[in-house]
A and B are shown apart, each in its own frame.
Chain A
Amino acid sequence: MKKEKTLLQEFVKGIDEINPVMKQALGLCPTLAVTVSAINGIAMALATTFVLMFSSLMISIIRKLIPSQVRIASYIVIIATFVTIADLVMKAKFPAMSKALGPFVPLIVVNCLILGRAEAFASKNNPLKALFDALGNGAGFLIVLFIMGSIRELFGSRTILGFHILPHSFEPMLIMILPAGAFITLGLLMGFKNAYTERVKRKEREDIVKNYRAVSKLESTNQGL
């Protein structure tokens, strides 16, 4: 039987093990589109997390009441409702940010990440677990968007979160804030992440082999005695 995960584990897995962008390649549109600056990335990730959290919670609460034939339609309506709320609140309270993100706030509704978590997790687990799963995935999304935004802002406008980091003698790389730069940055980021994961895994395997050798050597010397 599969071991039950604790709430903390449900949270942590979203950051690394099943990171929405890096591992599942979900939610790529906003990752590429809004990360012209770090602050935009953070705002987008927070809005997405808000929607993910409340819709996961809601779906998990009413999961037993929805007939399975209309579940996707129901999920979409629930998600669209929370997205509209997020959109209206942003327009009312943070007009400048809402303008910067443009149509990508309403487009959270078709972010496969949210429907994906609803279908794969929230519809099968209790509300508390669904909440932590949503928070974990949101955090994973936030980290990626923040890193993407920082890299692009740093090389594209010399700043991170508006603070000057690179000297004025550094010529800003225009490509970084253009669409092309977004694709290339994310591609490199994913590649390096894969390479790193690969190395960690190989190291682990080597360690196991080493331990095994050491143990078997010990045993053979024991037999020799």
Chain B
Amino acid sequence: MELLIIFLSASIVNNFVLSYFLGICPFIGVSNKISSAFSMGLATTFVMVLSATVSWLLFNMILVPYNLEFLQIPSFILVIASLVQFVEMVIKKVSQPIYRALGIFLPLITTNCAILGLALLISMREYSFLESIFFALGAGIGFIFALMIMAGIREELELTDVPKPFRGAPITLITAGLLALAFMGFAGMI
């Protein structure tokens, strides 16, 4: 039950993009097409779960027992960067179609603050191993949700007559604001 609440809270109620502002760069950058938004979201979710697992182990098995908490930020970011690189290599070897679909997004994920933010939040909230995995899954699925809804809206937005200065980033931000407001409606759920 606890796990389910963590999952729902991370994916819908406290959506990473719309209420924690994590992962805004790809949210604004990649969300113009539903198909690419889905691929990006999937790749991010995958890296999220993987990096949450590895960084949890790193933090609780090495950094805390040896009193090295001050190395948290450098070590987390290195773990994420090497994981992304590793995933890229594996996907390239295993499946060319998947690589073509996800490949270009992978380098972008390293500087996606949602990944590091997730790892930091997990250690701040002292989640257990299982809780961390559910939290990461929820965050990833929430990210896919936000990205795809946004992409859907933006595909329609292209056909509308937006005042010229507001085209691009400004109108996307305002749309995101309205979306965030809509997501507030879930607040009473848990």
Contact = CB atoms under 8 A, between A and B. Distances in A.
Q: Do A and B contact each other directly (Cβ–Cβ < 8 Å)? A: yes
A103 B184 CA distance: 22
Contacts of A126: none
A25 B113 CA distance: 14
A188 B170 contact: yes
Interface in A154-210: 175, 178-184, 186-188, 190-192, 194-195, 198
Tell me what chain B mostly uses at the interface: helix, strand, loop, or mixed: helix
Given A29-B25, A77-B78, A84 B169 contact: no
Query: Which interface residue of B124, B163, B166, B172 has the most chain A CB atoms within 10 A?
Result: B166
Interface in A73-109: 73, 76-77, 80-81, 83-84, 87-88, 103, 106-107, 109
Contact of B113 (A29, A81, A183): A29
Contacts of B163: 191, 195
A187 B117 contact: no
A29 B124 contact: no
Query: Which interface residue of B23, B70, B169 has the most chain A CB atoms within 10 A?
Result: B169
B25 A28 contact: yes
Nearest to A194: B165
A179 B74 contact: no
Interface string B58-74: 00000000000011111
A179 B6 CA distance: 20
A191 B175 CA distance: 13
Contacts of B70: 84, 88
B177 A106 contact: no
B177 A183 contact: yes
A137 B74 CA distance: 24
Contacts of B170: 187-188, 190-191, 194
A147 interface: no
B149 interface: no
Interface of B: 18-25, 28, 70-74, 77-78, 81, 111-113, 115-117, 120-121, 124, 163-166, 169-178, 180-181, 184
Given A84-B74, A87-B73, A187-B169, 15 more contacts: A28-B24, A73-B78, A88-B70, A107-B116, A110-B115, A180-B177, A181-B177, A183-B177, A186-B173, A187-B170, A188-B174, A190-B173, A191-B163, A194-B170, A195-B165
8 contacts: A33-B21, A80-B73, A106-B72, A107-B116, A109-B73, A110-B115, A187-B169, A191-B163
